[in-house]
Structure 1
């Protein structure tokens, strides 16, 4: 479980990274909207795992690889923004947040189960 300190720092990172991607994200991924969905920070605040969601991209793994390739540049820009609020600028690791895909897949499974139940009920009543 994360401490309050980790949660506050993660919130700060999420806010600042979102601003960086909003202003300069087109340089890394043209015509793609990047959303920072979640940030997890290590207890010593030295490592941050950043979960991204992409809109208008066909290949999310390529998009996250592109962002990871520019992570040192993004970290530098983040450092310039948070230098008065943090002692250490954390090392950034970017990952794909597939929560939406998971929710859609679960909805499809539940819809299929409900449909199968209705068909079974109709067959039982006959």
Structure 2
């Protein structure tokens, strides 16, 4: 369970990273929309785990590697935005948020189950 402090700090980071990616994301990944889906911060506020979603990009692992290569530059830009609000600029770890892929897979499974049940239901009537 995250404390209120962690949640508030994660919100600040998410907001500022979103602005950075919106303005300068094309420099890292042309023609790709990067969305920060969630940010989790350690209790000491020294590490932020940033979950990203990529739109209009076929290879999410390559996009993630590109972001990781630019992590220090992104952290510097984040630091210049939040330096007056925090004592320490957290290290950033980037991960792919595959929640939408998971939901899509589950929907397909449920559709398949539903289609398999329907013929049996109509045969019993």
TM-score bracket for this pair, using the shorter chain length? over 0.9
Match of 2:103 in 1: 103
Shift of 1:93: 0.5
Match of 1:8 in 2: 8
What are the superposed Cα offsets for residues 75-112 of structure 1, whole Å, 9 maximum, x if unpaired?
Answer: 00000000000110000010000011111111111111
The 5 Å alignment of 1:33-52 reads: 33-52=33-52
Which runs of 5 or more structure 2 residues have no equivalent in the other structure?
Answer: none
Match of 2:18 in 1: 18
The 5 Å alignment of 1:1-126 reads: 1-125=1-125
Give distance in 1, aligned partners of 2:121 and 2:83: 64
Shift of 1:43: 0.3
Moved more, 112-121 or 43-52: 112-121
Shift of 1:122: 2.2
Which runs of 5 or more structure 1 residues have no equivalent in the other structure?
Answer: none
What are the superposed Cα offsets for residues 43-64 of structure 1, whole Å, 9 maximum, x if unpaired?
Answer: 0000000000001101000000
Describe the SS at the equivalent of 1:89: coil
Describe the SS at the equivalent of 2:94: strand
Describe the SS at the equivalent of 1:10: helix
Normalising by structure 1, what TM-score? 0.97
Give distance in 2, aligned partners of 1:42 and 1:120: 51
